[in-house]
Amino acid sequence: MAGDVLASGLEPLPFIDEAFGVVLLRHALETTARQDNLLDEAIRVLEPGGMIAITGIHPLGLWSPWVARQSDSARPRLTWPWWWSQRLVRDDFELSMPRRLGSAWPRAGGATVGESLIGGGYLLVARKKRPAAVPLRPRAAVVPAPVPGTFASGARRHARDHIS
């Protein structure tokens, strides 16, 4: 599993903000109890202009009951690609249309991998928009230093003015 990070959505990902150009959530959102937290973290580590790809089992396919029967522990939380599309639009992403992929029903061998109108899975791809204004680096300004030997404001010029 070189390059994969296993995360539960309960804790932050161990990366700095905007560290990656591509983030792939491969069946990750359906296996965590904290789907929104995991997506928030994926968005945080994605750089502006970067791509996020989300795959999952489509809830209206014949795969969903099969996946529910196959899971040993918690039942997967299958969500609509439309749900993630709306969430990403709200978070300022440009979307491509979600695609249905794979065969319509589970079978032992020879399952199609390509796009299908009734495929059991989906793929959603989106690009994080860049900020509208790019902050510029401030230019170093030359500030003149006060000339030595001048009086501070409020100082008296003659010492005899102080003598009474």
The more confident residue out of 72 and 46 is 46
Within a 10 A sphere around the Cβ of 28, how many other Cβ atoms?
22
Report the Cα–Cα distance between both ends of the chain, in Å, rounded: 90
Say yes or no to pLDDT of 139 above 60: yes
Contacts of residue 121, defined as CB under 8 A and 6 or more positions apart, other chains included, come to 55, 56, 57, 58, 61, 63, 100, 101, 102
Model confidence, pTM: 0.67
Distance between CA atoms of 51 and 7, rounded to whole angstroms? Answer: 19
What local confidence, expressed as pLDDT, does residue 9 receive? 65
Match 């990750």 to its residue by tokens: 28
